[in-house]
Structure 1
Amino acid sequence: MFEKTSESVHRKLLSLFKSKQAWLFNWQQSTEELPESIQIAIEKQQNSSERLISWIQIAILVVFAILYTMAPNTLPIGSDFEPVPLFLGAYFIFTCLRLYFSYISRLAYWVLVLSVLVDMGLLLGLIWSFHLQYMQPPSFYLKSPTLLYIFIFISLRALRFEPGLVLLSGLVGAAGWLILMILAITDHSGGSVITRDYVVYLTSNSVLIGGELDKMISILVVTAILTLAIARGRQLLIRSIVEARTAESLSRFVPEGVAAQIANTQGPLINAQTESCEASILFVDLISFTSLAERLPPEKLITTLNEYFHVISEPIERNHGVINQFQGDAILASFNLPTKDANHANSAVRAALEIQEILSTYRFEGGIRLSTRAGINTGTVVGGFIGTSDRLSYTVYGDNVNIASRLQVLSKQYNSTNLVSLRTMQLCDDHTFHFREKGRGILRGRSSPVMLYEAVRTHN
């Protein structure tokens, strides 16, 4: 019993260690369950961040080199040894190489770890070399303000959303400073001594161990804060990318305005609030679809229909319309709902005329020509989600939607490419088209006749 419990605890600890290891040091492993498209988007963001880090480091190097060049020459007389330019040059070459490879391919994780080690190693080596260049005791470099660059290099790693690299930078920086302190304390040839007097520490080559420990603690605290911040930020990054991809995919199935509504809806979508307003409804139906289906093989029929929908969708969307449904070979589009459009009647009529103009010259595969009939009506409609809690769709519905559909059906009887209701005609003030009165007609399911109009282009 004890052995089984011990084995279970061991497995749990091992699993926890592996999860934390992935959380800290392996971005790909921690995101491998995400869709490939999201992983690619994250990877692009990470590569971009790595290039930004390299460019900032090059800029820091240039500034450091300028300041070093402008500073008075304090080399002892007769000394030509300058280690600072050597370290700066080596680091500049390494950074340029890393930047170059980041542009031509994705940097492997071991390269990123190596970059952190080289970054801190060269910076700490540069600080260590100060006592050689200026011929001072080793404790001299512990007073160098270049220590602040350790914090800059740690914070640069925060540009990538990988907390492990931030943590590694801080640990290497703190460990490196500890090594520098030990070297200064153990090297008595240069006159370095340990003191407990803060004034003596600041005004001589003495070493205050507490002061150096404070520096290391500061490095570790800043590292811990940044590591936690990046870990939290990484979760937000993943969530934002997932939501952006979801919204992009969702926009292929529902209108953009509806996708935004879905993102902001609290609770089940079926309980989402409906919207009611005056809108213009456009029904577009393909003429002689039955004969087309008889002539074409099923595969070619689907291909032709998809091309047809693509062609006629463009003028609808260009005129601020929203396609709510594909009904067989017909399209139901709304103007002013859910996307707002003050001139929705103009937009609906203009879209119908543009569809006719495009199809009059367009040839589908095999030289096929297609034409349409349209019905347009304006009135109060309701937009919202319908269906069950498991399967929903967004649509507009109401009596005015039915009228637009019946106008489209009636257009064949009147030998017209489109029929427009009185309300739509009254709201239109676009002088690029006008209306011909087609008389009165009785819509299916109604007893009272209504005025019918046909929209046509104005020829200047």
Structure 2
Amino acid sequence: MSSLSQTLRYIVQGGPPETGVPERVRTEIRGREASSERLISWVQLGLVLFFSVLYALAPRAEGTAGFNFVPVALGAYFLFTVLRLALSYRFELPQWYLLISIGVDMALLVGLIFSFHIQYDQHPAFYLKAPTLMYVFIFIALRALRFDPRFVLTTGLVAVAGWLGLVFYAAFAEMDSMRVTRNYVEYLTGNSILIGAELDKTMVIFAVTVILSVALYRGRSMLFEATRGQAAAKDLRRFFAPEVAASITDADTSLEAGEGSQREAAILYADIRSFTSTSATLPPEVVLAVLAEYQNLAVEVINQEGGRVDKFLGDGILATFGAVHPSDTYAADALRTAEKLVASVAEEQERFRAAGWPGRLKMGTAAAAGPVTVGVIGSKSRLEFTVIGDAVNRAAKLEDANKAQKSAALTDRPTWDLALRQGYTATLLEVRPDITVPGMGHPVDLVVLADL
């Protein structure tokens, strides 16, 4: 019972509670609702124009002689719909205005039905057989476009009240000539009222309203979750490379630790020199501002050359080429990026000084190519998408070797030769053979890509 009352309360409130829903998600939902209201207004405008044209072209029905309410109703409703449409583009329509709009919709329909007995000079029971009642389902369905059960429920209840009002008036308008009957044939062939038939119509309207309201409640719950998930997916694409984010959000099954594949790729490490010691003397906001300027510059260069940032390591950056998606020029792209990074940082010194960095900002970078494993690591509750392999370790050790070698960018000879085969065209600056690099098991031939 408590679950049912909670569901009914949520339907009246318009769906699931917004407690715990981020403001940006609520803003997104409000924007979609405003767009839906504009769509509803356009559909209503189209309907009233269609009915107006149809009425203007159709000949007047035989037997109609009384006051014709239709042109007045359609004209007034057209003006109201145009006003509503114009206001919906100016601001978000308040709920009280939407409720008034629902009342106008139903007033139009009830008024048109009521006018039948006047036009044909018949007893009020005559209008109960008017097929115009079927249009009530159009108005109820229109409110479903907003995905808010409150307005569907309100429309349906107003329609039920309007129809019951028409039935009541028809039954008691002329007390001296009660037209209530239990004979179905008499009901069909004369101006009699069959209470069971009118109750059937009422129950159908009410049942459709309730079913659609419950369906919309469930749909609105999914809308909240989908909007929240969409916002999370957008944020995910800011934390991961687009291809990595897509592989997570578009996966057919839940990702598990241990899933991955092996690829030929190049790894690039980049690091700011003396960042820890210098940042210790600066205010935190200055440190973060400088770091943001540097990372924005570095990411732009990496992306331009086809690389993807795997992770930020404080002031360090780990980027991959050919790991997230296969590439035939991964080594060449990585070496071009290393050179371009050093050059770009040197050219943008004023940018870093303006952010608050004292003196000259220096960086070191290195690249290494080879087979790597690309996949998911971690535990059941905490996963991370990363790259593992000898190329990752070599790139890290080579970057650290910049300090001892007094260089700004390094690679090893195998990576250099591979890059040349892949179309890399830079002039060989310097080769330093048989250099012992801490952390590497044997001496390596270092290729200097850029000096300090």
Instruction: Bin the TM-score by the shorter chain.
Output: 0.7 to 0.9
Letter in 2 for 1:93: L
Q: Which residue of structure 1 aligns with residue 165 of structure 2?
A: 179
Q: 1:421 to 1:249 in 2, by over 3 A?
A: farther
Equivalent of 1:117 in 98, 103, 108: 103
Equivalent of 2:215 in 229, 240, 246: 229
Is 2:171–2:180's contact at 8 Å kept on the other side of the alignment? yes
Q: Which residue of structure 2 aligns with residue 349 of structure 1?
A: 335
Q: Which residue of structure 2 aligns with residue 400 of structure 1?
A: 391
Matches of residues 4-403 of structure 1 in structure 2 within 5 Å?
17=5, 19-20=6-7, 22-27=9-14, 30-74=17-61, 81-188=67-174, 193-194=179-180, 198=184, 201-263=187-249, 264=251, 271=257, 273-287=259-273, 289=275, 292-293=278-279, 296-362=282-348, 363-366=350-353, 370-386=361-377, 393-403=384-394
Taking the aligned partners of 1:355 and 1:191, their CA distance within structure 2 comes to 95
Taking the aligned partners of 2:74 and 2:284, their CA distance within structure 1 comes to 69
Is 1:25–1:162's contact at 8 Å kept on the other side of the alignment? no
CA deviations over 1:336-393 (Å, ceiling 9, x no partner): 3334545433432343343234334322143665453321112122234555666654
Q: 1:278 to 1:148 in 2, by over 3 A?
A: same
Taking the aligned partners of 1:211 and 1:28, their CA distance within structure 2 comes to 33
Instruction: Give the match's secondary structure for 2:295.
Output: helix
Farther off after superposition, 394-403 or 333-342: 333-342
Q: Which residue of structure 1 aligns with residue 418 of structure 2?
A: 426
Taking the aligned partners of 1:220 and 1:78, their CA distance within structure 2 comes to 34
The TM-score normalised by the length of structure 2 is 0.84
Letter in 2 for 1:37: R
Q: 1:401 to 1:318 in 2, by over 3 A?
A: same
Is 2:15–2:221's contact at 8 Å kept on the other side of the alignment? no
Q: 1:77 to 1:34 in 2, by over 3 A?
A: closer
Q: 1:152 to 1:350 in 2, by over 3 A?
A: farther
CA deviations over 1:154-210 (Å, ceiling 9, x no partner): 111111222222122222222322222232333459988455555554454444443
Taking the aligned partners of 1:372 and 1:190, their CA distance within structure 2 comes to 100
Taking the aligned partners of 1:421 and 1:209, their CA distance within structure 2 comes to 95
Is 1:373–1:416's contact at 8 Å kept on the other side of the alignment? yes
User: Is residue 445 from structure 1 mapped to residue 439 from structure 2 by the alignment?
Assistant: yes
Q: Which structure has more RCO (C-alpha within 8 Å, separation ≥ 6)? A: 2
Number of aligned residue pairs: give it.
Answer: 441
- Measured after TM superposition, the shift of residue 115 of structure 1 is 2.6
Identity %, equivalent residues: 39
Is 2:110–2:162's contact at 8 Å kept on the other side of the alignment? yes
Taking the aligned partners of 2:327 and 2:238, their CA distance within structure 1 comes to 21
- Measured after TM superposition, the shift of residue 62 of structure 1 is 1.0
- Measured after TM superposition, the shift of residue 97 of structure 1 is 3.3
Instruction: Give the match's secondary structure for 1:34.
Output: coil
Q: 1:294 to 1:156 in 2, by over 3 A?
A: closer
Give unmatched runs, 5+ long, in structure 2: none
Is 1:422–1:453's contact at 8 Å kept on the other side of the alignment? no
- Measured after TM superposition, the shift of residue 16 of structure 1 is 7.3
Is 2:321–2:327's contact at 8 Å kept on the other side of the alignment? yes
Give unmatched runs, 5+ long, in structure 1: 1-11
The TM-score normalised by the length of structure 1 is 0.82
- Measured after TM superposition, the shift of residue 454 of structure 1 is 5.2
- Measured after TM superposition, the shift of residue 332 of structure 1 is 0.6
Taking the aligned partners of 2:261 and 2:100, their CA distance within structure 1 comes to 57
Where has structure 1 moved over 6 Å in runs of 4 or more?
75-78, 189-192
